[in-house]
Structure 1
């Protein structure tokens, strides 16, 4: 028996992997699975950014924050100098733990 498909549709769901307790942007207070006030549709056009301080924000919210005079180029949550975290923040924690374990084993 052969089956011929005339059309095919798929549905995908996604969710940001964020470890913050509230899962909201500290600037706009919107949930991370929603977009920032500057965007109309959540997704790739409204990505999340992490700082080396481990705080997470919508990219557009952080850009606007850093452009204000009162920001002093600092994280709005802890006022440390803002530096974008490079790489995947979810794997960086596990990599850091592995490095710490290796250092302990060497001692």
Structure 2
């Protein structure tokens, strides 16, 4: 007996571990489970990064922020030191 598939509808859903789907990137204001403005697809070489203060951002957003001299290496949300 052979079966022919005439139509296939696939659906998937995902989210980053450690964040709510309603969380926004504090820099670009996109949802964390969406891509940052520099990426074409969610998770496309742009993972989420958490600071020691536990705030999370898209990787490209926080790296761009930290490259600014005015950031002083601090979290944009609470001004605590971002790294170690």
Q: Which residue of 2 aligns with 1:43?
A: 43
Q: What TM-score, normalized to structure 1?
A: 0.63
Residues 46 and 58 in structure 2, CA contact (< 8 A), matched pair in contact too: yes
Distance 1:3 1:33 in 2: 41
Between structure 1 and structure 2, the one with the greater Rg is 1
Structure 2's unaligned 5+ residue stretches are: none
Computed over aligned residues only, the root mean square deviation of the Cα atoms, in angstroms, reads 2.4
Aligned length: 80
Q: Which has the higher helix share?
A: 1
2:83 paired residue number: 83
Structure 1: 4+ residue segments shifted above 4 A: 2-6
Cα offset, 1:74, TM superposition: 0.5
CA contact 2:24–2:31 (8 Å) conserved in 1: yes
